[in-house]
Amino acid sequence: MTIHKEGYKSIAIGVILFGIINIVSFYFMSSSLPIISLLLFIATLGLLLFLISFFRIPNRNLTIEENSIIAPADGKVVVIEEVQADEYFTDRRIQVSIFMSPLNVHVNRNPVSGEVVYNQYHKGKYLVAWHPKSSTENERHSVVYKKNGKEILVKQIAGALAKRICNYLQPGQQVKQTAEMGFIKFGSRVDLLLPLDAKIHVKIGDKPQGGVTKIATW
């Protein structure tokens, strides 16, 4: 396991605060209120470990398959439905939505290899990530990949806690399947808009692993 670069600053601040709080607690509370001092240490250590775990990158055997669309994120499948596309595409698409809780790994990965033909950031609201309108009204970053004449769209969507979307791609860039495409901090959602003829391999309630689980084939 390694720590993602997006977490370096947050973890450094967390370590400093952990040290300050517990040094002050030790000098002013350890003799008069030892139980309170101990509980404070346990609580702050737990928060620090949670912060570190949030930015973790676990070691995985990533899935590389020519005709497969691989999960761009960890989480839980909360939507599989046919929708009318309202960005980039003008046709109907299959939407697969993955909700990422604060406990999930938050690295986002390219679901396919190919060319980035569209990359657009949208300002927006911070509705809870599972809200039906979060896909169109929340802050989000949309990417379209093109491969062998076919295209899919991936949306990184901010949630009520996630206030920063990181995206590392540029239009015209050639990318590799399962390589990092971005990161969303503190709970969020990722939507895929797939062609209607894509064969879906997951169902609502499934918990895919980013870079590992096959979402669909095309």
Same structural domain, 87 and 52? no
Kindly state whether residue 99 falls inside one of the protein's structural domains.
yes
Same structural domain, 81 and 127? yes
Kindly state whether residue 63 falls inside one of the protein's structural domains.
no
pLDDT computed for residue 164 by the predictor: 76
**197: burial class by Cβ within 10 Å (0-12, 13-18, 19+)?**
exposed
Kindly state whether residue 62 falls inside one of the protein's structural domains.
no
Q: Which of 31, 57, 83 is the last residue of a domain?
A: 57
pLDDT computed for residue 153 by the predictor: 98
Q: What is the pLDDT of residues 4-33, one digit of tens each?
A: 888 898 899 999 999 999 999 888 887 788
Instruction: Round the average pLDDT of the chain to a whole number and report it.
Output: 90
- The domain in which residue 116 lies consists of 68-217
Same structural domain, 76 and 176? yes
Kindly state whether residue 102 falls inside one of the protein's structural domains.
yes
Q: What is the pLDDT of residues 148-176, one digit of tens each?
A: 999 999 999 987 665 678 999 999 999 99
Same structural domain, 198 and 108? yes
Q: Which helix (H) or strand (E) holds 38?
A: helix 34-54
Same structural domain, 189 and 211? yes
Any residues with CB less than 8 A from the CB of 175 and at least 6 apart, and which?
110, 113, 114, 115, 116, 145, 169, 181
Query: Which residues does the chain have with pLDDT short of 70?
Result: 126-137, 160-163, 186-187
pLDDT computed for residue 128 by the predictor: 66
Report CA torsion sign: 160, 189, 62, 109: negative
Q: What is the CATH number of the domain that holds 188?
A: 2.70.70.10
Known active-site residue 142: no
In total, how many domains does the chain have? 2
